[in-house]
Structure 1
Amino acid sequence: MSALDEATRHAVVEVFLNNARLMRQSPAAAFDGDLLLFRATKGRRPGVANRDAWRPYVTGLIEVHEVACEHREMALPGPLAQLAGVIRPRVRAR
């Protein structure tokens, strides 16, 4: 965040705080459908973002795809190409 100007840093903090308030105020409703779960494999702590953690929020199938990167690298070209390779056929099929 050091590359951001003060106003942008303030806005990021405000969004984070608001999201935290919203999470405490109301429980998330379950999504009635299937979930594609993309998990970064590098630097991940055991048990974080596993299929079981999502079960209370998803009624359908949870399909896990592991991506060989850190979470912060998921938006880089290589990992994004891997995600696109999984998502593209599903979008085309609809």
Structure 2
Amino acid sequence: MLDAYPPDPHLHSPVAADVERRRILNVVLADFGYDPALLDGGPLDLDRVLTIIRAAGGALVDWSDEGIAALLEVTTNNLAAVRAFTPDRFHGDLLFFSATLTRPELLQTVDTWLPYVDGRIDNRDIACRHERMMRPDAITEIGPILADHLATLARRPALTRAALPVRPAPPTTAGSGLLPAPAPAGGASY
């Protein structure tokens, strides 16, 4: 898993609209290399963000106004999805890659996964920011670790389907075509 975390009640709790708007604008600006402090004292609207981006240059300077507005909307929707999500418990080991150069005020640690993982968590620190985990310099470091891990797994005896934990089937509306039918009695559902 690449530097992803379950919802943090402190970071993802519902807040007043202006606080949420500042949170979203801070995330977008910081993730694209801008100083969120540039928002201090100014209005929290698209025009202000566009002014900051156009004056500072940087990664978003060539984006259209509509593209930046869409980015803010997607970020808003993503944060709402994170708040609504509760991960299931994972029955197995987790290979985790932590981005160690992420802003400290947003830093969660791999330990936030402890309530959700039954197995061992093998954390590997990668000296990059979260949004740069898929860049060539980080992948050059991640690739060999992942290849070695997969090779180790390949040498282990294979699990049979019978050895996998049974997960209850999701609720269903029989015959609706919207959800799968329930698993047969005694069968596994994945």
Q: Same fold (TM over 0.5)?
A: yes
- What is the aligned partner in structure 1 of residue 70 from structure 2? 11
* Residues in 2 aligned to 1:40 and 1:26: alpha-carbon distance in whole angstroms: 22
* Residues in 2 aligned to 1:87 and 1:61: alpha-carbon distance in whole angstroms: 16
The higher radius of gyration belongs to: 2
Label 1:78 to 1:58 Cα distance change in 2 as closer, same or farther (>3 A): same
Percent of pairs with identical residues: 29
- The one-letter code matched in structure 2 to 1:61 is R
- The one-letter code matched in structure 2 to 1:85 is P
Conserved 8 A contact 1:67-1:79? yes
- Give the match's secondary structure for 1:38: strand
Task: Show structure 1 runs of 5+ residues with no match.
Answer: none
The reply on whether 1:24 has 2:76 as its aligned counterpart is no
Higher helix share: 1
Conserved 8 A contact 1:39-1:49? no
With normalisation by structure 1, the TM-score equals 0.70
The reply on whether 1:70 has 2:107 as its aligned counterpart is no
- What is the aligned partner in structure 2 of residue 39 from structure 1? 98
Q: RMSD of the TM alignment (CA)?
A: 2.7
Higher strand share: 1
- What is the aligned partner in structure 2 of residue 90 from structure 1? 149
CA deviation vs aligned residue, 1:33-81 (integer Å, no higher than 9, x gap) = 2222212233553893323212123222111111123334333322111
With normalisation by structure 2, the TM-score equals 0.41
Task: Show structure 2 runs of 5+ residues with no match.
Answer: 1-59, 155-190
Label 1:3 to 1:91 Cα distance change in 2 as closer, same or farther (>3 A): farther
Conserved 8 A contact 2:98-2:110? no
